[in-house]
Copies of this chain bind each other. A is one copy, B any other.
Amino acid sequence: MIVRRFASSFSAKPGGFKLPPTIRQLLASPHTPAPDAPPITVSGWIKSIRRQKNVAFAVLTDGSSPQGLQAVFVGNGDGVKALTNGAAVRLTGKLVPSPGAGQDKELLVDLGKAGESGAKGEVRVLGSCDPEIYPIQKQALSTEYLRDHSHLRARTDAIAAMIRLRDALKKNISTFFDEQGFVYTHTPVLTGNDAEGAGEAFQIAEIPSAQHPASVLLPSSPSSSPSPSSSPAAPTATATAAPSPLGGTLAHEKEFFSRPAHLTVSHQLHLEALATALARVYTLSPCFRAERSQTGRHLAEFWMLEAEWVQAGGVGETCDFVEACVRKVVGGLVHGGSGELEVLWRGGEGSRRQAMSDAVKPDGKPWKRMTYTEAVEALEAEHARTKKFEYEPRWGRALQSEHERWLAETFVKGPVFVTDYPAVLKPFYMRRNCSASGAEDRDRETVACFDLLVPHVGELVGGSVREERPSVLESRMREAFGEAGVREYEWYLDLRRYGGAPHVGFGMGFERLVGWVGGIENVRECVPFPRWAGRMLL
C-alpha cells in the first residue's frame, strides 16, 4: 500500500540522464547549426555586455572553455537590463552561424513579440550581481588582490584556465600510466613517518582529554597495539601484544591513533609497499611540508605525481620512462592545440613558450643527460670564468636553484637529467652505486638517482633506483637514524626481506609541471586554493 504511493515519482530514464551541453561542448561541435533546429537553453555568467539601440551583445561563460559564447539579444530591451558583469543567467535562444569575426556560432536571443526570427527567446536572471561592488571587476586585478579573494578568483580567465589545465594534465597522466600497465592507488595522508625527523612534517594535535575517552582510544584488545614488522611464527593468529616502539603506549594516550600522526611529505614509502605486490603503481596525491621558504616554487600543501615500479634497468631506463611520461603528458596538450595555454601565455615570453613546446616535440631531440660530477665540472668552469654564482659550486655540495637554472636555461638550453649525486646528499633509500675500484674514497660514493631540471622551474622530477639489498639498506638506515630508526622502519626492510624485487620510482611536483606548461611564475597561481607559511584562506 505504502509502496504504491510513491510509485509515481520514479524516474523514467534511470541510466540515460544527461546534463545539457556546456559551452565548450557547444562550441566544439563540428555541426553548423541547422536553421530549423529547436531553441537551446544555456546557463552561465555574463562576462561582458554591450548595448546598442535595438540590439545588445553579451559574452556568456560557464567556465568550461577559454572562449565564451556570444549572445545577441534583439527586440524588447527590458529583458537585458539586468544583464550585468558577473550575473548568473539562463538564456534560451537559437544557435546560429555567427556573421562576426572571432566565433563560428552565436546564440540569437529574440525577445521581440512572438520572436521575429521564428523562435521566442528568453532571459532569466538566476543570480544578480551588483556591478558597483562586484570584487571581480573587468580591469586587470593584481595577483596579490586575487590571492586575497581566492574564493572568487576562479572567475578570472587565467585561474579558470589553470584549473582546466590541471584537469587536462591529469587526464593525460592517467592515459599514459594505463598504457604502461600501472595501477592507480590511494596512499594515506596520515602517517607515522615524520620525514625522518627533518621537522618539515605537520603534526596532528593531541585530542583534549574531555573529548578523549581512554576506553575508546586505548582498547585492550591486542590487535590495537600492533607490531607491523614481521611476526612470521603464527601467521593465522593476531599479532602479539608486546608494546611496539610505534604506538599504543601510555605516553601517547592523548593521541587519536595512540601514536604521533603526521601529514605525509611523500607517498613513496607506501607506494613501495604496494609496488612489491602490484609491480607498477602510481598516485597523484596531496603532500605537505611545513616549509617556511617564501619562494615561488614551494607550497605547504601541494600535489605530487609519484610512481614506483619493478625494473632492473638502472637510472638510464628510469630516465627513459620519465622522459616518455613528460613528453606524452605535456606534448599531447601543447601540440594538440589548447585554448587554455593561449589564455595562460597571454603576455608571457614567446621564446620561453617556444622552448617548452620544442622540448616535447614528438620528433624532437632526446633530452640531455649528465652526471652530477659532469654538472659540477661545468658549473666550476663557468664560475671560474664569471664568478656569477652566489654559492660556489663544488663536488659534494647540493646544487642550488641558481645552479639548476643555469644548467637548464643557459648550458643545456632545455630539459636535462642530472644523475648519480653524492650519497651524502641523498636519502637512505637510494641505491648505492657499486664502485669499480674497491678502494674508492667513501666520500666520493654516489647513488643511482636523477633530477630532471627544466628551464625557469629548476627541479621538476626527482627519482632513483631504490636500494633493494636488505643488508645495505639496513646499514644506511642505522647510519642515518640509529637503532630506533631501524626498528621504526622494520616494515620497510620487510619489503626487501621477502621477495624484494629491484624497483625504481620518482616524484613530480604537479604545481611545478602546471607552471612550466602554463608559463605561470608562481606555484601559488598553479593550484585553486594555495597554502603557505602564514597564509591559508577558506
For A22, A211, A269, A312, the residue with the greatest tally of chain B CB atoms inside 10 Å of its CB is A22
Question: For A140, what are the chain B residues with a Cβ–Cβ distance below 8 Å?
Answer: 236
Is the Cβ of A9 less than 8 Å from the Cβ of B369? Answer: yes
Answer whether residue A536 sits at the interface, using C-beta atoms and an 8 A cutoff. yes
Answer whether residue A467 sits at the interface, using C-beta atoms and an 8 A cutoff. no
For A3, A154, A309, the residue with the greatest tally of chain B CB atoms inside 10 Å of its CB is A154
Answer whether residue A316 sits at the interface, using C-beta atoms and an 8 A cutoff. yes
Q: Which of A32-53 contact B (CB under 8 A)?
A: 43-46
Given A279-B63, A369-B6, residue A219 in contact with residue B534 (CB < 8 A): yes
Q: How large is the interface on A (under 10, 10 to 19, 20 to 34, 35 or more residues)?
A: 35 or more
A181 CA to B174 CA, complexed, in Å: 18
For A167-191 the 0/1 string (1 means CB < 8 A from B) is 1001100100011110111111111
Q: Name A309's closest neighbour in chain B (CB-CB).
A: B19
Answer whether residue A223 sits at the interface, using C-beta atoms and an 8 A cutoff. yes
Is the Cβ of A277 less than 8 Å from the Cβ of B63? Answer: yes
Answer whether residue A371 sits at the interface, using C-beta atoms and an 8 A cutoff. yes
Q: Which of B152, B270, B279, B290 contacts A498 (CB 8 A)?
A: B152
Given A11-B366, A86-B499, A239-B145, residue A286 in contact with residue B189 (CB < 8 A): yes
Answer whether residue A428 sits at the interface, using C-beta atoms and an 8 A cutoff. no
* Shortest distance between the CB of A323 and any CB in chain B (Å): 6
Answer whether residue A128 sits at the interface, using C-beta atoms and an 8 A cutoff. yes
Given A62-B310, A148-B227, A273-B151, residue A534 in contact with residue B292 (CB < 8 A): no
Is the Cβ of B17 less than 8 Å from the Cβ of A321? Answer: yes
Question: For A258, what are the chain B residues with a Cβ–Cβ distance below 8 Å?
Answer: 534-535
Question: For A2, what are the chain B residues with a Cβ–Cβ distance below 8 Å?
Answer: 374, 377-378, 381
Answer whether residue A204 sits at the interface, using C-beta atoms and an 8 A cutoff. yes
Is the Cβ of B257 less than 8 Å from the Cβ of A533? Answer: yes
Answer whether residue A245 sits at the interface, using C-beta atoms and an 8 A cutoff. no
Q: Which of A364-411 contact B (CB under 8 A)?
A: 364-371, 374, 377-378, 381, 411
The segment out of A70-78, A129-137, A349-357, A451-459 that lies at the interface is A129-137
* Shortest distance between the CB of A68 and any CB in chain B (Å): 12
Is the Cβ of B366 less than 8 Å from the Cβ of A320? Answer: no
Q: Name A134's closest neighbour in chain B (CB-CB).
A: B498
Question: For A180, what are the chain B residues with a Cβ–Cβ distance below 8 Å?
Answer: 18-19
Q: Name A180's closest neighbour in chain B (CB-CB).
A: B19
Answer whether residue A98 sits at the interface, using C-beta atoms and an 8 A cutoff. no
Q: Name A293's closest neighbour in chain B (CB-CB).
A: B216
